[in-house]
Amino acid sequence: MTGGLLDFFTLEASEYVEQLDALVSRAAAAPPEPEAFARGVRALRGAATMAKVTGIATLASSLERLAKQVKDGSLSWDAATRGVAISAIDDAKILIRAVRNWGSTEDARVAERVAEIDRIAPQRESASARRSPSEYLASTTADAAAALLEYAENPGGAEHFTRVMDKVRALRGVAALKDLPPLGEVVDTVDAVAKPIELGHEDATAERRRVFRTAARVLLEGGDAVRLGNRPPADSPALQEFTLAAGTLAGGSGDGDDVVPIASLLMDGEAVQPAQNPPTTAAHRFRLEVVSQAEHLRRLVHEGSHAQDAATRDRLGREMRGAVRALARAAKSFAAVEIANLFLAAERGAAALEQPALDVLDRAAMLLSAADAAPEAMAPQFVSLSELLSRGVTPLAPQKPAVPATPRFVTPVAAPNTAAMSGASSAVSGAAPAGAAPSGAALKSLLSQGLSGLSGIGNTTFAEPLVGDEDDVIPIEDLLFRGKDALQRALTLGESLKRSGAVPDAATLAELYDLLQLAAAE
């Protein structure tokens, strides 16, 4: 254990123990204030766990159990209970001072105090009982936090760092992690920061170690909350420090190489000779370049609109800035100035997840992913979006074609009264026999009279319209692909595209995206 980490632990743990001593000393006739007492013991255990001072962590866990049983009333606060608590706190002071020279004497002292607490506040479950998911998550989080903090204080070699990241990535296997923000975001950020170190591209710089140190505190804080059945805090000082550290590290990284026109690489007087029969058009190449980036941007916009905790918003803000810059560079390389200007103007608002900027970007990405037009043909629409962005106005949703009325299956209508129809025709023509269409002289006479000759038909009743029951109404959702059917249809469509070898058109891509959304919504 490094000297710097032990120094920090000694200061922090001594403060917690003094707070506990004051609480217990004042609690002569009544129990100590339950929330403050439990919070102090929990903080002592957390500090000892991160510093890997196992003996003090074990003693703090036993004392935490005593505090919990006093709080829920299963253990009375009498002279014996108070004496055991005071003895444990006094021995904790001695153990903290001896942490640099820990030996068998300290182990024996811990065992004696733990046994004393166990006699009056026994464990309610056997030691071999299976841990609950929340206890497992809290324990795994504490192990990862301790490993990160140790590495941040004393970076070791590649093998050491691999062991640290193994403990951090063990959290990825916990399914509940994604439902407990910001823990999932912290693990993802640590993993991204660790990649250059693992690949040997960069060393463990002070900025990266600061991310590890602040991440360890957020993980331990979240693990303690989960252990108590609560959700991790979404805006604690520890999380704010982590967000600042991650943002500082991300702010110094570049966004990739700039795209420059090939003409700028030529010698003076040289010119680029276009191909006589290019295999694709400029508009097609532009679409191939930006459609996937636009769809990625739309996904980020959707996540950003619903992000709540600070860590998630910070991560999405960084990804949003990178996606916007990438689209601006792509548009600039195709001389689509209006499109590039929009994304450059939206960069700051996108990084801050401002809703007007997100709405404009969503509309712009929709235009890029759905249109087959050349960049210059879309320029007026992007100019309009830029004006809306400058005024902070949300663009109107695109007009959708009118949806036809819900289909109704009705009882077949009875056959028309042909006799009445023929009678009407006879009345008009005076020559056509019943049941036969007018022809010859009769047809000539009918046509000569024009539309006025057909006026009698309006007074003839053919059949009464029959309308089906309300139970015959079929919901439109029943006529759509959903779930596995939508996924199967998308796979079939994808296989047909592979076999054909053709470049999919806009309608095919739109159908494929719709099918995937329907499959994911099930």
The model's pLDDT over 453-506, given as tens digits with 9 standing for 90+, comes to 555 555 555 455 555 454 445 455 555 566 777 777 778 777 777 777 667 777
- Mean pLDDT: which of 49-53, 123-127, 370-374 is highest? 49-53
Q: What's the confidence (pLDDT) of residue 444? A: 60
- For the stretch 367-379, pLDDT in tens is 888 766 678 888 8
493 phi and psi angles, rounded to 5 deg: -65, -40
Q: Does domain 3-120 have CATH number 1.20.120.160?
A: yes
Over residues 169-177, mean pLDDT = 76
Would you list the DSSP string of 201-216?
Answer: SS---HHHHHHHHHHH
Q: What's the confidence (pLDDT) of residue 442? A: 63
- For the stretch 254-269, pLDDT in tens is 444 455 556 666 666 6
Contacts of 137 (CB under 8 A, 6+ apart): 171, 174, 176, 177, 180, 223, 226
pLDDT score of 415 more than 60:
no
- Residue positions counted in the chain: 522
Over residues 428-443, mean pLDDT = 52
Q: What's the confidence (pLDDT) of residue 450? A: 55
Range of lowest pLDDT (308-322, 363-377, 433-447): 433-447
Measure the CA–CA gap between 250 and 267, rounded to whole angstroms.
37
- For the stretch 93-111, pLDDT in tens is 999 999 989 999 999 999 9
Over residues 7-31, mean pLDDT = 91
**402 vs 191 pLDDT, higher one:** 191
Question: What are the extents of the domains in the chain?
Answer: 3-120, 133-251, 283-391, 476-521
Measure the CA–CA gap between 102 and 108, rounded to whole angstroms.
11
Q: Please give the single-letter amino acid code of residue 470.
A: E
Sequence-separated contacts (24+) of 382-386 with Cβ below 8 Å:
382/338, 382/339, 382/341, 382/342, 383/338, 385/342, 385/360, 386/338, 386/341, 386/342, 386/345
Contacts of 313 (CB under 8 A, 6+ apart): 304, 307, 353
Q: What's the confidence (pLDDT) of residue 277? A: 65
Q: What's the confidence (pLDDT) of residue 426? A: 43
Mean pLDDT of the chain: 78
Strand pairing partners for 473? 408
Over residues 161-189, mean pLDDT = 83
Q: C-alpha angle with apex 323: 322 to 325, nearest 5 degrees?
A: 65
User: What is the pLDDT confidence band of residue 445, given thresholds at 50, 70 and 90?
Assistant: low
| Omega before residue 274 within 30° of 0, cis | no
**512 vs 357 pLDDT, higher one:** 357
Measure the CA–CA gap between 62 and 131, rounded to whole angstroms.
17
- Please answer whether residues 249 and 320 qualify as being in contact, where contact means their C-beta atoms are separated by less than 8 angstroms: no
pLDDT score of 81 more than 80:
yes
Is the pTM of the predicted complex or chain greater than 0.95? no
Over residues 85-92, mean pLDDT = 94
Q: What's the confidence (pLDDT) of residue 438? A: 58
Over residues 439-444, mean pLDDT = 61
- For the stretch 200-249, pLDDT in tens is 888 889 999 999 999 999 999 988 888 888 888 888 888 889 988 888 87
Measure the CA–CA gap between 504 and 291, rounded to whole angstroms.
12
User: What is the pLDDT confidence band of residue 413, given thresholds at 50, 70 and 90?
Assistant: very low
